[in-house]
């Protein structure tokens, strides 16, 4: 799948989450199903792949809202495993 298309989808879903006032810490799968279903339609992927992108979107939102410009320093806060 095209990285640019995935990035655009993540940005779209992130904006939907902000509009719906969904926390970037949300872990309730039932609240995230709406976004999973939208990704499945938009990108024609299965449930598992769509949920991975939902969680990537949550991480993206956390990184985007981070006050630190040093992602290597903040990476472990998000489980990114940067070293």
**pLDDT tens-place string over residues 51-68:** 999 999 999 999 988 765
Burial class (CB in 10 A: 0-12, 13-18, 19+), 56: middle
Show Cβ contacts of residue 45 under 8 Å, excluding neighbours closer than 6 positions: 1, 39, 53
Q: Where are the domains of the chain?
A: 3-66
pTM, rounded to two decimals = 0.78
- The band of 33, judged by pLDDT with boundaries at 50, 70 and 90, is very high
Two tokens, residue 76: 């472990």
Q: Give the residue with greater pLDDT, 77 vs 21.
A: 21
Q: What mean pLDDT comes out for the span 64-81?
A: 60
d(CA 33, CA 78): 22
């Amino acid at each position: 799948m095209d990285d640019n298309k995935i990035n655009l989808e993540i940005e779209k879903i992130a904006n939907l989450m902000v509009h719906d006032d969904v926390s970037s810490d949300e872990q309730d799968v039932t609240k995230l199903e709406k976004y999973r279903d939208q990704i499945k339609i938009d990108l024609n992927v299965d449930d598992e792949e769509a949920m991975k992108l939902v969680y990537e979107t949550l991480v993206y939102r956390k990184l985007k809202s981070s006050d630190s410009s040093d992602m290597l320093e903040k990476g472990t806060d998000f489980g990114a495993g940067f070293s």
